[in-house]
Amino acid sequence: MATFDGAPFLQVQLASLDAQTRRPDELVLSDDGSRDDTLEIARSFAATASFPVRILEGPQRGLAENFWFATSAAQGQLIAWSDQDDVWAPTKLEVCERALARHSAELVTHSASLVDANLQPIGATHRRLPPWRVRPGRRPDHRRTRVLAPLEGDPWRVIQGFSMVFTRTLVERVDWAHRPPLHATANPASHDGLLGVVAFATARRVELTDDLALYRRHGANHGGLPEPQSLAAARGVGYDAYRARAEHALSYLRILERSGLASPEVADYFERLAARIRSRSQVYAAPSRRSGIACVARCLSSGTYGSVDHGRFRRLAILKDLEHVALRPSAS
């Protein structure tokens, strides 16, 4: 657990750890210089917890560094990241440990319910639904439980660390000192983002549809990804963004190569991924409708569109690209 000024919510989260049906072997809590009562709450909990609690002085270089510092100090063979302001379901560790063993996996992620500061559900509505039909939001939102082999699944999906349970062997494959920028933020990769890239390329993973935590969003969170973009934002993505995404694919390949993890299959996957993205960028560099249609045709023939679970763009991307082409000048 990485903490920083987490006093308003910390006690509830610590209690949910102590209520696990599969008790933690230990809690490593790294505090990054809290100025409130966080440390007092943590020490009080450590005195009564049903498992050992180690409280460390964090590196004070940001959330990701603090999480990685705590991770490096953990002694167990299975590791779970805990945010300071969430609430775990009592069976979280039990269910995740069982899933890892059953599927011989190295990483399991689970769904979670979005809640506000008072643990009230945050609704997720659909534009086609009337306003009174509000569905509770989930993040991550795994629609079904499934097992993924290395290089299978959406390579761009970043799963939040609080929903992960993973093996020490996976951590040992991460080259934290040379982490690349994360595609979702363009900042140095977060703890969960980088682990996710390494797991995607090298590990068997499990996604659980079970809601095993309350993911609290209260306006003062120290981490978490932005909400999914709107259709209007997606339409605004063009040449520069696609070229940047291709570079991200190659930067992920470089860090895998540096760590000795880039098998021929891994290298081929990321090189093809970058090539597909670059081919799509040409749609947005085309000077006319005719040349733009030719670019879309090349994307179709090269397999740029298809299943995101195979590193391609969803088929709706064809409509977005054709819409863009239709707005181009007709002269060649």
Q: Is the pLDDT of residue 165 over 70?
A: yes
pLDDT band at residue 237 using 50, 70 and 90 as cut-offs: confident
So what's the pLDDT on residue 327?
Answer: 86
Domain residue extents for the chain: 2-216, 231-326
CA distance 184 to 308: 16
pLDDT band at residue 110 using 50, 70 and 90 as cut-offs: very high
Selection from 135, 134, 137, 186 nearest residue 158 by Cα: 186
pLDDT band at residue 84 using 50, 70 and 90 as cut-offs: very high
- Mean pLDDT check: name the lowest of 48-52, 88-92, 196-200, 225-229: 225-229
Q: Is the pLDDT of residue 332 over 50?
A: no
In three-state secondary structure terms, 67 is helix
CA distance 191 to 70: 11
Q: Where are the beta strands (DSSP E) in the chain?
A: 2-3, 27-31, 53-57, 78-80, 87-88, 107-115, 123-124, 135-136, 146-148, 164-167, 205-216
2-216 has CATH 2.30.29.30 classification: no
So what's the pLDDT on residue 124?
Answer: 63
So what's the pLDDT on residue 1?
Answer: 98
User: What number is the average pLDDT over the span 6-26?
Assistant: 98
CA distance 30 to 16: 18
Exposed, middle or buried by CB within 10 Å (0-12, 13-18, 19+), for 131? Answer: exposed
